């Protein structure tokens, strides 16, 4: 559970770097089986965290309100009520 808490505090960029490191280690084939399973589980948690951060960014972008000329007129925070 501490690992999930640690991952949730990572920025997207840091989580992506950590995920890339996990993939490199797994692809290298030098990691014992039990460690590979642990690495795979960590990688999946990192992937889910990255996806959640991307989804949140996408939602924020979609909240931009365009004016009649198509230019951004106003923005709304992602967590603002509609």
43-58 pLDDT, tens digit per residue, is 999 999 999 999 998 8
Q: pTM (2 decimals)?
A: 0.72
Domains of the chain: 2-74 (1.10.287)
pLDDT of the residue at 41: 97
- The H or E element spanning position 74 is strand 72-74
Q: Which of 41, 81, 75, 46 is nearest to 61 (CA)?
A: 75
Q: Mind listing the pLDDT tens digit for each residue in 3-43?
A: 888 999 999 999 999 999 999 999 999 999 999 999 999 99
Angstrom CA distances, 31 to 44, 47, 78, stand at 17, 20, 41
């Amino acid at each position: 559970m501490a690992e999930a808490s640690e991952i949730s505090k990572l920025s997207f960029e840091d989580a992506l770097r950590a995920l890339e490191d996990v993939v490199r280690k797994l692809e290298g084939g030098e990691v014992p089986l039990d460690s590979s399973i642990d690495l795979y589980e960590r990688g999946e948690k990192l992937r889910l965290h990255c996806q959640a951060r991307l989804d949140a960014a996408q939602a924020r972008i979609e909240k931009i309100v365009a004016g009649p000329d198509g230019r951004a007129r106003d923005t709304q925070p992602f967590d603002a009520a509609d």
